[in-house]
Amino acid sequence: MYEQFFGLKELPFSLTPDIGFVYRYSGHQEAVNELLTGLQSGEGFVAVIAEVGTGKTLLCRKLLTLLPDNWASAYLPNPLLTPAELYREIACELGVEAQNTDSLQELQRTIFERLVKVHKSGGQTVILIDEAQAMSQQSLEALRLLSNLETEKAKLLQIVFFAQPEFEKRLGRHTLRQLRQRITFVCQLKPIARTELEGYLRHRLAVAGYNGPALFSAAAVRRIYRSSAGSPRLINILAHKALLAAYGKGGRRISTRQVAAAVADTASVQISCFAGMSQTPFWLGLMTSLALALVIVLLLKGVA
C-alpha cells in the first residue's frame, strides 16, 4: 500500500467505522446534539435516519463514548434477531445472565431487574440498534413491549434506531402505529457539505499521521465532492483510490486525473453522479435546452 510513500502510519480512508477518525462536520455534530438532547430529556424512542454510507454506524459508536459513566448501554449491530434472541442479546449487553431456555417473560423480568438497578443508581439505560430497517415486525413489537418497563414516575429504557430512509416508510404501516407514536425525536444525518470536504480530507490524513503540504488539489476536492454528493463512504472510496493511483505513478499530489481514475473505477459513484444531475438549477437546464434547440434549427437550415 501507499502508507510509507506518503508518510502515513495507517490507511486514512478505510471504510471501517473507527471513532478515532470522527470528523465533526456540521451534519454530524447536529445529529449528536439532537441525540443527546433527546436522551437527556428521557424520551422513549429516538430515530436517526440517513442514507447508505453517510456514517450511521460511526455516529452510533461515537454516541456510546459520550454517554455518562453511570448509564448502561446495549449496542446491537445485527438486528436480524427473533424476539427471544433480541431479549437475550440485550440482557447479555447489559451484563445480565440469561439462559437459552428462558421464556420471553422470564427474559423480560431479568432485564427489568437490571433496569431498576441502573435507575436507582441515578443512571439511565439506552439500547442502540444499528441497521434498524432490517428488523422484523415481530422484533420491533417485542422492543416496543420492552419499552413499557417503567416506574410510576420515570421510563427505565430509551431506544435509539439508526436506520435507512425505508425505515420511516415501514413506520407508516398501520400495524406499527403504536411504535410510530412513541418515536418522539427523529433526526436526519446529513452528508458532508462542499465547504467542509477539504477539512474532512485533511483531518483523516492528519489522524493517519500525515504532516506535509496539502495532498489534494482544490480541483481534486471539487471533483470528489461532485462525484460523491458528500457521502462519507464514497468520499473515502474515491480518496483511497486516488491515493493508490498517485502512488502507482510516483506522484506526490492528487489532481483531478487521479480522482477521475478513481471515479471510473467505482460503479456506485456513477449512480451518485446521475442523482446529482437531477439537482441542476432550472435556469441552467433551460439555457442548455434552448442552445440545443438553436443548434438543431441551424443544422436543419443548412440541410435545406
Stretch 251-255: mean pLDDT:
95
User: What's the mean pLDDT in 103-109?
Assistant: 92
If one compares 283 and 107, the residue with the highest pLDDT of the two is 107
CB 216 within 8 A of CB 228: no
Mean pLDDT confidence for 97-113: 89
- Among left, alpha and beta (phi > 0; psi -120 to 50; other), residue 122 is left
Distance CA 68, CA 235 (A): 32
Q: What is the pLDDT, as a whole number, of residue 278?
A: 37
pLDDT score of 284 = 45
CA pair distance 215, 113, nearest whole angstrom: 55
pLDDT tens per residue across span 42-86:
878 999 999 999 999 999 999 999 999 999 999 999 889 999 999
Grid coordinates 423480568 are at which residue?
Answer: 109
Confidence category of residue 261, pLDDT binned at 50, 70, 90:
very high
Q: Is a pLDDT exceeding 80 seen at residue 175?
A: yes
In this prediction, residue 290 has a pLDDT band, given cuts at 50, 70 and 90, of low
Cβ distance 188 to 11 under 8 Å?
no
What is the distance, to the nearest Å, from the Cα of residue 235 to the centroid of all Cα atoms in its chain? 13
Band (224; pLDDT cuts 50, 70, 90): very high
Helices 83-93 and 137-146: crossing angle in degrees, nearest 10, is 50
Q: The pTM is what?
A: 0.83
pLDDT digits (tens, 9 = 90+) for 232-243: 999 999 999 999
Per-residue confidence (pLDDT) for residue 184, from 0 to 100: 86
Are the C-beta atoms of 228 and 238 separated by less than 8 Å? yes
Checking if the pLDDT of 282 tops 50, the result is no
Is 142 strand, coil or helix?
helix
- CA-to-CA distance for 170 and 186, rounded, in angstroms? 14
The whole-number average pLDDT for the span 157-185 is 92
Please report which helix (H) or strand (E) contains residue 207, including its range: helix 194-207
For residue 121, what pLDDT is reported?
92
Distance from C-alpha of 286 to C-alpha of 292, rounded to nearest angstrom: 10
Which of 97, 162, 106 lies closest to 129, judged by CA? 162
pLDDT value, residue 298: 52
Full set of structural domains in the chain with CATH: 3-19+192-282 (1.10.8.60), 26-188 (3.40.50.300)
Where residue 303 falls among pLDDT bands split at 50, 70, 90? very low
Q: Residue 275 has what pLDDT?
A: 42
Average pLDDT over residues 131-141: 94
**Residue 12 phi, psi (nearest 5):** -80, -20
- pLDDT tens by residue, 12-31: 999 999 999 999 999 999 99
* Mean pLDDT of all residues belonging to the chain: 87
* C-alpha to C-alpha distance for 100 and 85, rounded to whole angstroms: 9
